Amino acid sequence: MSANPYETGLDMTAANYQPLSPLSFLPKAAFTYPDYTSVIDGEARHTWAGTYARCRRLASALAQRGIGKGDTVAVMAPNVTAAFEATFGVPMLGAVLNALNYRLSAGEIAFILDHGEAKVLITDTEFSPTIEAALKQVKNPPIVIDIEDPAGPGGTSLGELNYEAFLATGDPEFEWNLPGDEWEAISLNYTSGTTGNPKGVVYAHRGTYLNAMGNAIAWGLHDHPVYLWTLPMFHCNGWCFPWTITALAGTHVCLRRVEAKPIYDAIADHGVSHMCGAPVVMQAIAGAGEGERREFSQTVKMFTAAAPPPAAVLAEMARQGFDVTHVYGLTEVYGPCVVSAWKGEWDELPLDEQSRLKARQGVAYQVQEGLIVANPDTLEPVAMDGESMGEVFMRGNITMKGYLKNPQATEEAFAGGWFHSGDLGVWHPDGYIELKDRSKDIIISGGENISSIEVEDVLYKHAAVAAVAVVAKPDEKWGETPVAFIELKADGEATAEELIAFCRDNLAHYKCPREVVFAELPKTSTGKIQKFVLRDQARGAAE
Amino acid sequence: MSANPYETGLDMTAANYQPLSPLSFLPKAAFTYPDYTSVIDGEARHTWAGTYARCRRLASALAQRGIGKGDTVAVMAPNVTAAFEATFGVPMLGAVLNALNYRLSAGEIAFILDHGEAKVLITDTEFSPTIEAALKQVKNPPIVIDIEDPAGPGGTSLGELNYEAFLATGDPEFEWNLPGDEWEAISLNYTSGTTGNPKGVVYAHRGTYLNAMGNAIAWGLHDHPVYLWTLPMFHCNGWCFPWTITALAGTHVCLRRVEAKPIYDAIADHGVSHMCGAPVVMQAIAGAGEGERREFSQTVKMFTAAAPPPAAVLAEMARQGFDVTHVYGLTEVYGPCVVSAWKGEWDELPLDEQSRLKARQGVAYQVQEGLIVANPDTLEPVAMDGESMGEVFMRGNITMKGYLKNPQATEEAFAGGWFHSGDLGVWHPDGYIELKDRSKDIIISGGENISSIEVEDVLYKHAAVAAVAVVAKPDEKWGETPVAFIELKADGEATAEELIAFCRDNLAHYKCPREVVFAELPKTSTGKIQKFVLRDQARGAAE
């Protein structure tokens, strides 16, 4: 017997192996389609050749400030040109992009800047009040670069240079390299998770490359889509769409404000073909007033996630010219990795039945290897009967590298070789999964995760509070909102308004309870608060 | 300074890393679309659940015969179900698929079976005469399984079992594994190359996964394409389309005979949406007679390669409802890795100009990292002026692992970190490459590579021949055909017919000269035959 001949003389070389990285898409777009429109942002237009030069300028300017491999660059911005350019310009150096949720409070931002060790912060002046306060709290203040957007509301400049002046210091022909290893980090995205402090989810070049492809394949994208940025780029790097749309040399249409009028204007004026967003975006579109709507001839395809789209909204979206696909994911899986793949034969079903099918989260992306609903302790898959509850688990190449500087949380999240989503659901006989309950400690409001524990931690700091439980209350507009059930101390005194104001001083506003209920909290015999009772109560109150 | 925090506690685990392999697409298609049609083959219909079970049976049956990692399984078949199933069933074991060119002679097949060390040969009885003769020559005869296709012409069964009986011995729920390493070999494809003996091009799981995706992205494929198998599956594993179409849970429409009538029948009867093939396929379609054509309502998209599509054929194809895209590649780059990407603004140009643009080979696939036209000695890129000639070089993840048991040829092919295509061309100012001359020693006839050196080697064995040079002659139907220029020995005597017959005894018929010219061969002062003079002469004769 000879040895395996396929293992001899057939090694990886520079000719036949290159690390996977979504950065490779940008020079290709610039090379083949140099004068195609890459970015539309208010009155500004960029071409692919121009965008590539600007991203190289950004990398070069950062390199001149000493930024290099493994350094973190944070961005606090709405969906503007700079936020998009950072998805290429930062990792071109081997540096790591940390896009910040601009709805967070100064304290939360300060925590993230410290934990992520950001060396540079590129920040839109709209958020200067928050950032100014945050910078006073951080241990090692980063270099600050201001985005002074003429379309923005103005605001104080905090840094040494503005973004355009900073770019001007960079070389448009800067020589950069793909990562030496496709497992290197490309970005850092903080998630509320279920514990008090946010966790830093680290993405790899390999995973973002594959999910950029995965989006295109799952959606059947053609060359040159016109993509409207209704989904925040700070959410899982815009679900990897900065890289998907660039791979296809499409057009990124920026959008500062996710409101009905600018959405309709962009669709009508720029021929938008695709967009993503939480149900709250659909509601803005479906509920638009007369002066906000515009006529357009194309069908706009939309990916939505975070909550099943309600039947009435889906019907109205279809009437308005939108073709909605329901996807599901989490920050830990690069954004969507599950799609409610639509079967042609379902077109014939009654609308309610269609809506019921579309509300299911669906099946795994082609690029995600595994998706199961299973017993959280044994990882034994549940019966595919549409009734047996289990936790949703994923595995494969579009699962995060892990949580930054948190090996214990990483180990727990990956116990047994699967990512534990914390979401609970069933598995239907046709293989589609459907969430039946979010992880008990997560509230999703307007597409944003809120950790009930984080809110509880704040309320426990109030002198009058004896016990607290925060749960989700169904909400027509936001999907869910947090409601706080509170037991005051015997000698404690506080009004609902005072407690909400206390939260707003310590948390992003969207995380704060909309409602406070004073009551004795139901507890188990061992003293554990029975949140399910409170959830039922909140749900009942909303109906 | 702290160490790079992104390099600690963020390792690959079973949860976040899986080897890339196109095998993962099959269980997904079977899971989500179990009753969708996977394969149409004559009267037979298969579903994705059924195909997955059959592929597992194949893997299981092979395993029972001792086949495992690194073993070669050869297939000699037209585009029938078994040939498709082998693209999954064989590599499920870690074994390597060697699809054979059924136009080769017995001697050529014997060489390949010996060189590739095939342990099993699955062969269609149509080719039994060739295989029977080949098996008499091989050193270690493989286990032979016969494909007895009711739609085939019959023929002698040579093996111990037929394919269906063999499958019946396998377990439809056979437990298989993805490869442990994505760099493992998945297939072996012999290419004529420019030297006498064919070279065995080895593909990796990683590369076939990425090119399966690359095809979908380059073509903008949606879910469920209906793909007609006009391209032989033995050509670069059908350009990776067995895996692309399976990733999209499409339908593979098999086709034993690439002729106008069955092509039109398949398109009209099965709603074919996509197909690939050499220009000879387009000519069959464009030149179809009255009794062969059928009406159909869809536009059929077609990838063509091997020679630029002539303007008249393109125009006729458009009239018949085909949308043709020109792609370019070689066996060494997994089939197509370059596409003549069409720009919308070109639709307005005169037809001749459109044809001129479409005839260019184009730009790199998204999944191929590098494509240059460069000086073959220095690898210095040529000027992008549409005139400076150079050799075409590729690099990236869809470049072969190398040539089996031929480290010297592999090293030469990858010298300088680029794959040397051997094709000569120019680089246009817009970045599109255009071949101006095939590698001097390759003749492409009906989409098949013919090594002129291989044909010359045979003719040199004829007792009457003193010197020989084989060159390409342009041919309306086949693109090119080989013509032999021969100097007889002073005492030698042979007719053109005798020499052609001598070739046919030793070579695949398509490789044999169509024409023999007796002449004194033009030589350089150092005695080297001036082939370019003969090529000019052959070209002149054809005009």
For the segment A395-423, what is each residue's pLDDT rounded down to a tens digit?
999 999 999 999 999 999 999 999 999 88
Inter-chain residue contact A341 with B32, CB threshold 8 Å:
yes
Inter-chain residue contact B10 with A402, CB threshold 8 Å:
yes
Cβ-based contacts of A401 with chain B (< 8 Å): 6, 10-11, 16
- Better-predicted residue by pLDDT, A76 or B389: A76
- Asked if residues A108 and A234 have their Cβ atoms less than 8 Å apart, the reply is no
Is this prediction's ipTM beyond 0.90?
A: no
Query: In this complex, which of B6, B213, B217 lies closest to A70 when CB atoms are compared?
Result: B6
Inter-chain residue contact A223 with B341, CB threshold 8 Å:
yes
pLDDT value of residue A528: 67
Q: At B43, is the secondary structure helix, strand, or coil?
A: coil
**Stated length of chain B:** 543
Cβ-based contacts of A67 with chain B (< 8 Å): none
Distance separating alpha carbons of residues B416 and B118, to the nearest angstrom: 33
- Better-predicted residue by pLDDT, A319 or A83: A83
Inter-chain residue contact B363 with A32, CB threshold 8 Å:
yes
Inter-chain residue contact B6 with A363, CB threshold 8 Å:
no
Range A57-82 average pLDDT: 98
Q: What are the φ and ψ backbone dihedral angles of A214, each rounded to 5 degrees?
A: -60, -40
Closest chain A residue to B332, measured at CA: A16
Beta partners for A392? A373
Confidence category of residue A98, pLDDT binned at 50, 70, 90: very high
Q: Which residue has the tokens 């609903």?
A: A373
The type of residue at B461 is: K
How far apart are the CA of A535 and the nearest CA of chain B, in angstroms? Answer: 32
Interface of A with B in 111-140 (CB under 8 A): 117
Cβ-based contacts of A224 with chain B (< 8 Å): 344
Q: What does the block give as tokens for A415?
A: 């116990």
Query: In this complex, which of A14, A341, A369 lies closest to B395 when CB atoms are compared?
Result: A14
Query: In this complex, which of B202, B221, B363 lies closest to A10 when CB atoms are compared?
Result: B202
How far apart are the CA of B62 and the nearest CA of chain A, in angstroms? Answer: 17
How far apart are the CA of B516 and the nearest CA of chain A, in angstroms? Answer: 40
First to last CA, chain B: 74
Cβ-based contacts of B407 with chain A (< 8 Å): 8-9
Hey, where are the domains in chain B? 442-542
Q: Name the percent of chain A lying above pLDDT 70.
A: 96
Q: Does B91 touch chain A (CB under 8 A)?
A: no
- Class for domain A33-339, per CATH? alpha beta
Distance separating alpha carbons of residues B402 and B411, to the nearest angstrom: 8
How far apart are the CA of A531 and the nearest CA of chain B, in angstroms? Answer: 30
- Condensed to tens digits (0 to 9), the pLDDT of residues B292-332 reads 999 999 999 999 997 777 777 888 898 899 999 999 999 99
Cβ-based contacts of A407 with chain B (< 8 Å): 8-9
CB atoms within 10 A of CB B138: 17
Mutate to test the interface with A, among B6, B17, B115, B367 (most CBs of A within 10 A): B6
Confidence category of residue A438, pLDDT binned at 50, 70, 90: low
Closest chain B residue to A115, measured at CA: B5
Inter-chain residue contact B96 with A6, CB threshold 8 Å:
yes
CA nearest neighbour of B75 among B66, B62, B60, B57: B62
Inter-chain residue contact A363 with B31, CB threshold 8 Å:
yes
Closest chain A residue to B433, measured at CA: A32
Taking every pair of C-alpha atoms in chain B, what is the biggest distance, in angstroms?
86
- Asked if residues A31 and B363 have their Cβ atoms less than 8 Å apart, the reply is yes
pLDDT reading at B195 higher than 70: no
pLDDT value of residue B491: 86
How far apart are the CA of A411 and the nearest CA of chain B, in angstroms? Answer: 9
Q: What does the block give as tokens for B3?
A: 């160490």
Confidence category of residue B440, pLDDT binned at 50, 70, 90: low
How far apart are the CA of A29 and the nearest CA of chain B, in angstroms? Answer: 9
pTM: 0.89
Distance separating alpha carbons of residues B59 and A102, to the nearest angstrom: 53
Inter-chain residue contact B16 with A247, CB threshold 8 Å:
no
**Over chain B, what is the mean pLDDT?**
93
**Over chain A, what is the mean pLDDT?**
93
Distance separating alpha carbons of residues A77 and A88, to the nearest angstrom: 16
Distance separating alpha carbons of residues B144 and A431, to the nearest angstrom: 39
Range A416-442 average pLDDT: 88
pLDDT value of residue B46: 98
Range A201-207 average pLDDT: 98
Interface of B with A in 202-241 (CB under 8 A): 202, 207, 213, 216-217, 220-224
Alpha-carbon separation of residue B154 from A386, B22, B120, B148, B233 (angstroms): 50, 33, 21, 7, 21
Cβ-based contacts of A16 with chain B (< 8 Å): 207, 395-397, 399-402, 414, 419
Burial call A117-134: b when 16+ CB within 10 Å, e when fewer: bbbbbbbbbbbbebbeeb
Inter-chain residue contact A363 with B28, CB threshold 8 Å:
yes
Query: In this complex, which of B247, B341, B417 lies closest to A15 when CB atoms are compared?
Result: B417
How far apart are the CA of A365 and the nearest CA of chain B, in angstroms? Answer: 9
pLDDT value of residue A316: 86
Cβ-based contacts of B344 with chain A (< 8 Å): 224
pLDDT value of residue A43: 94
Range A292-308 average pLDDT: 92
Confidence category of residue A1, pLDDT binned at 50, 70, 90: very low
Confidence category of residue A523, pLDDT binned at 50, 70, 90: confident
- Asked if residues B140 and B110 have their Cβ atoms less than 8 Å apart, the reply is no
Query: In this complex, which of A5, A18, A248 lies closest to B396 when CB atoms are compared?
Result: A18
Assign domain B442-542 to its CATH architecture.
Answer: 2-Layer Sandwich (3.30)
Confidence category of residue A352, pLDDT binned at 50, 70, 90: confident
How far apart are the CA of B131 and the nearest CA of chain A, in angstroms? Answer: 24
Confidence category of residue A525, pLDDT binned at 50, 70, 90: low
Query: In this complex, which of B69, B220, B366 lies closest to A222 when CB atoms are compared?
Result: B220
Alpha-carbon separation of residue A482 from A354, A393, A454, A517, B472 (angstroms): 30, 26, 11, 11, 77
Inter-chain residue contact A395 with B14, CB threshold 8 Å:
yes
pLDDT value of residue B1: 47
pLDDT reading at B194 higher than 70: no
Inter-chain residue contact B399 with A431, CB threshold 8 Å:
no
DSSP 8-state assignment for residue A167: H
Q: Name the percent of chain B lying above pLDDT 70.
A: 96
